[in-house]
Structure 1
Amino acid sequence: MSRLFGSVRARATLGATLVVAVALVAAGAAVLLSLYSNLTEQAGTEAERSARAVAADLAGGKRADQLSLDDDDRPVQVVADDGTLVAASENLERISGTGTSAVRPQEQPPATADPGTGTGSGSGDDDSDDSGESGDDDSGDDDSGDDSGHGSGDDDSAGATLQPGEIAEEASLTDGSATIDGDQADYRFAKVQVEVPGQGTYTVYAGGPLAAEQNAVSTAQTVMLIGFPLLLGVVAGVTWLVTGRALRPVEGIRSEMAEITASEDLSRRVPEPATHDEVARLARTTNETLAALETSVDRQRRFVADASHELRSPIASLRTQLEVAAAHPELLDLEGAVEDTVRLQRLAADLLLLARLDAGERPTGTRVDLAELAREQAAGRTGVSVDAQSLEVAGSRGQLGRVLANLLDNAQRHARAAVTVAVRRDGDRAVVQVADDGDGVPPADRERIFERFVRLDDARSRDEGGAGLGLAIARDVATRHGGTLTVQDAPTGGAQFELRLPLASKGP
């Protein structure tokens, strides 16, 4: 399992699937909440419409027992101000979530006549029989009026007082359930108050069914539970295929690199896809790295071979002279032995310096005066003149002195009579020119002479002690100091080597 999820392909597939899963869950929850909210609001609107229709009938003068509440799927209750149920749907068997759980209305007394309109006919007939009873009726009417006024007072304490025939503008909504004709269901109940003339404040409760909302939400949940896993499977499969196709060139690069490592054949190259994406750039960079590595290894091999060859000559010569001297002391060539020893010492020093440069040794930040260094290296040399401007560069005094010494050695080796050294400034660079009046360097060989162990005149150079490392060392040191070393024709007809180095920054 750890190996499976250790691959980029598996992690990409898992990551994409998780992201899509989170997005789907969030979107699904938002859809369900929106659907539930909209349908619940729709049920509340229907419930309020039904409650207001009943309230309008009451406000228009209908008695509670005259209301038509036979809608089977709309539970309705009409509650008096004292909490008495005065009307309800005919088949209502149980209800919850409203002001009362009663389902059977109580019988209501006859309506009380409005003040100033006279008494009913029954009261007029009783006047001839018993005036005291008529007085009692009048007293009862007064009591009824007092009760009505008391109800209005309650309304005042609860909120704005409604005028006779007025329906409250605001309706409150609650959730509950009801059983109608044996069928139980959930409803959204609307509560609307109405002031009935001569009867007080009635509260109408009407329910809007939530079955559509519940069915819609249930259907949406079912679709999501089935569709989301299928969609996630499709996302995982597509991501797996796409990442596999995208990473196929990477696997080709990896397998080829493994074979190159096993065979140690640096001439091989990884396949480069015919695209312009990151994988193609990776392949090209890998091939460039392999080419540079191959060049470096070949250079090291040639270096070792050439060094072995160069060391063999002075060592063999020195050994021969010592063996002869051991057998015949009188034949000892002391000067030749010293010369071979010095040559061997110089070659060993050159090889050591090249090894340090190849290892990435960086020069120090010492400030070096090139004019002073040029005069120091030219001192004691025959036919060498110096025309130098005092300029400072940052670097290793020893390595820069070695560059000038190598350039002067090379110039004297090929000059006919004179060697000139000039130090001048060119913008932000210090320029050192070493020129001779010899035969010069052919244009075709002007880069080749900076390669290691390269000598244009092998026999003469070997006789004079040259191993073909001086110019290679000089260029490597110049490069390490951020400069350049080139060769061109000298004004006197020979070769002119030009060393360019950045000037040292001025101190604070």
Structure 2
Amino acid sequence: MAEPNTGRAAIPRATRRRAGAVLRPLTRHPRAVALLRRLAPRSVRTRTTLAACVSVAVVMLAASAVVMLLLRVNLEHTVETGAREETRALSRLAAAGGLTPQLPLGPGTDFIQVVDAHGKVVAQSQNLTGRPALAPTGVHEGHRTYNLDALGEKHDQRVTTVTTATPTGPVTIHVGASLRTADTAEDITTAALAALSTVLILTVGALTWRTTGRALRPVEAIRAEVAAISDRGLDRRVPAPRGDDEIARLADTMNAMLERLEAAGIRQRRFIADASHELRSPLAVLRTQLEVAHTHPDPKVRDTLVEGALQDTERLQALSADLLLLARLDATGQSRAEEPVDLTDLVRTTVASRSTDPHPVALHTSVDITVPGSPLWLSRLLTNLLDNAQRHAGRRVTVRLTADPVTGDAVLDVANDGPRIDPGDREKIFERFTRLDDARSRDDGGTGLGLSIAADIAALHGGSITVRDTSDGVTFRTRITAVPRG
């Protein structure tokens, strides 16, 4: 069998190498790279649409190639089967000595030629009358190639060649089967697949462009709203689309962040205003005392004024230290130290160091408790609670450390027998610069930051502070998550 070369050759390798040699320097040139980057789509919508179209195009190209290959193989197999049947029939006829000079053409057969061992044509179809015997001109794709220009046809041929014995000697039978139907079917299928692929790619591109635009419209609204929010407009919120998809969750997260920023801004402005007020009063008093002491002629009065100035200086120093600690706590945020702290030993050491306090402190601990955190800050938490208890206690202060029987959390109670706190003020006392008895707190040297610092330290360690009434006073209860026991 043989098939003529139809001229459908792939791009030569040398041509591809020359094209690559031309394009490769362009990719290395800075201006070419910059141009390619500028031409690259920047929009997510455009990139998504292009990616969808390219993906569909690749899939359709691969599918079309498979379809065309299967179609071609099937059609050629059908043609070859018909040619082989025609060849077997002629072989049986030749073996019986029934060949005639003119042979009829069967369906799908283009020509027939029978040649004897000496190269003489002994029988042929009418369209090859007077033509010499076919001679191979080469090998194409594993098949012999024959010169069929005598037929005046430009379509492909599949030539089946069989040698058989006859009463007058062996003969070679050539049967040429036309691939005109296969070529026509291939062309029609190629055009149909190209049209279908084009329509499908355009449809996918349009749907992707529309769907992506609708999906990204809320994102653009969120971006525009966030861009319009300034440090003075933190009360604004981004539009939240309906549903529970990723964009809706993004909007909810952005609004939650804006709420935190707004709360932090309000807290910061209130803190700055309160700090300015708290610093302005002692500084004014200190300056007045020093000016009077500087000009007063009586040494005793000057000593009294200087002593008052020293007290105000100590108060300013304590206030500055508390403000710096609050700034550190605010900067720390939610990151908590994970150093194991022996809370029982820390409580015992802190209480023992306060032996000179105006009221005795009774300590009750029965278990060893370890918590993750910072020993310096936990000590400051207990110190602030003890300072508050000492300031308001009548005669005694009690510290009790226990473990919650259910959760295992550390429970630290600091109680005093002073006046109780109204339920409406139990949250307010933990705000910065809050004094329920402002005059007495100033006289006792309180800054109004002790309980706020204690609450922030407890929150930083995953705990909380609550106020509870007792039969003889008030208790500040601190809960801190303990290290699980192994």
TM-score w.r.t. the length of structure 2 is 0.81
SS in structure 2 at match of 1:65: coil
Distance 1:267 1:397, change over 3 A: same
**Which range moves more in the overlay, 390-399 or 407-416?**
390-399
Q: Deviations over 1:39-63 (max 9, x none)?
A: 111111111121122223234x233
Residue of structure 1 equivalent to 2:284: 316
Query: Structure 1 residue 62 and structure 2 residue 97: aligned?
Result: yes
Task: Decide which of 347, 356, 360 is 1:383's aligned counterpart.
Answer: 360
Structural mapping, 1:357-372, within 5 Å: 357-360=329-332, 363=337, 365=339, 367-368=341-342, 369-372=345-348
CA distance in 1, matches of 2:239, 2:91: 85
Determine helix, strand or coil for the equivalent of 2:41. helix
Match of 2:321 in 1: 349
> Are the equivalent residues in 2 in contact too, given 1:370–1:392 (CA < 8 A)?
no
* CA deviation after TM superposition for structure 1 residue 189, in Å: 2.1
Q: Give the corresponding residue for 1:188.
A: 158
- Code of the residue aligned with 2:238 in structure 1: it is V
Q: Deviations over 1:441-465 (max 9, x none)?
A: 2333322221212222223323322
Q: Deviations over 1:407-456 (max 9, x none)?
A: 01111222222110112233543322111122222333322221212222
Provide the residue aligned with 1:398 in structure 2: 376
* 2:60 alignment partner in structure 1: 24
1:467 maps to what in 2? 447
Structure 1 unmatched runs, 5+: 103-171
Q: Is the 8 A contact 2:458 2:465 kept in 1?
A: yes
* Shift, 1:343, TM fit: 1.2
Post-superposition offset of 1:395: 3.2
Match of 2:174 among 199, 205, 217: 205
Moved over 6 A (4+): 93-96, 172-175
Report the secondary structure of 1:378's partner residue. Answer: coil
Q: Which amino acid aligns with 1:495?
A: V
Mapped contact 2:135–2:147 kept (Cα < 8 A): no
Deviation at 1:227, TM superposition (A): 4.3
Distance 1:279 1:426, change over 3 A: same
Specify the alignment match of 1:13 in structure 2: 49
1:237 aligns with 2:272: no
Partner in structure 2 of residue 441 of structure 1: 421
- Looking at structure 2, the residues matched to 341 and 56 of structure 1 have their Cα atoms a distance apart, in angstroms, of 128
Cα pair 2:114 2:123 within 8 Å, conserved: yes
Change (3 A) 1:465 1:405: same
Contact 2:435 2:448 in 1 (8 A): yes
- Over 3 Å counting, the alpha-carbon distance change for 1:77 and 1:264 in structure 2 is farther
Is residue 435 of structure 2 the alignment partner of residue 455 of structure 1? yes
Q: Which amino acid aligns with 1:238?
A: L
Closer, same or farther: CA 214–176 of 1 in aligned 2, 3 Å: farther
Matched, 1:307 2:275: yes
CA distance in 1, matches of 2:254, 2:130: 81
- Relative to structure 1, the CA distance from residue 372 to residue 181 in structure 2 (aligned partners, 3 Å threshold; closer, same or farther) is closer
Question: 2:238 maps to which residue?
Answer: 270
Aligned twin of 1:86: 122
Q: Decide whether aligned partners of structure 1 residues 58 and 312 sit closer, same or farther in structure 2, where only a CA change above 3 A counts.
A: same
361, 370, 373: which one pairs with 2:349? Answer: 373
C-alpha change, 1:213 and 1:3, in structure 2 (3 Å) is closer
Tell me how far 1:387 sits from its aligned partner.
Answer: 1.8
| Cα-to-partner distance string for 1:189-220 (whole Å, 9 max, x where unaligned) | 22344443x34444332222100111111222
Number of residues of Structure 1 aligned to a counterpart in Structure 2? 433
User: What is the distance in 2 between the residues matched to 1:83 and 1:370?
Assistant: 116
Q: Any conservation in 1 of the 2:351–2:361 contact (CA below 8 Å)?
A: no
The equivalent of 1:119 in structure 2 is none
CA distance change for structure 1 residues 300 and 86 in 2, over 3 Å: closer, same or farther? same
Report what 1:216 is aligned to: 185
CA contact under 8 A between 2:158 and 2:179: conserved in structure 1? yes
User: Which residue number corresponds to residue 7 of structure 2?
Assistant: none
Instruction: Check the 8 A contact 1:57/1:67 in 2, yes or no.
Output: no
Cα drift, residue 66 of structure 1: 6.1
Q: Which amino acid aligns with 1:437?
A: D
Bigger Rg, structure 1 or 2: 1
Superposition CA RMSD, Å: 3.0
1:374 is displaced (CA, Å) by 3.5
Equivalent in the alignment of 2:14: none
Q: Provide the rounded CA distance (Å) in 1 between the counterparts of 2:338 and 2:311.
A: 33
Q: Which residue in 1 is equivalent to 2:16?
A: none
| CA-to-aligned-CA distance 1:305-326 (integer Å, 9 cap, x gap) | 0111111121121111112112
SS of alignment partner, residue 75 of structure 1: strand
Matches within 5 A, 1:75-154: 75-81=111-117, 83-92=119-128, 100=135
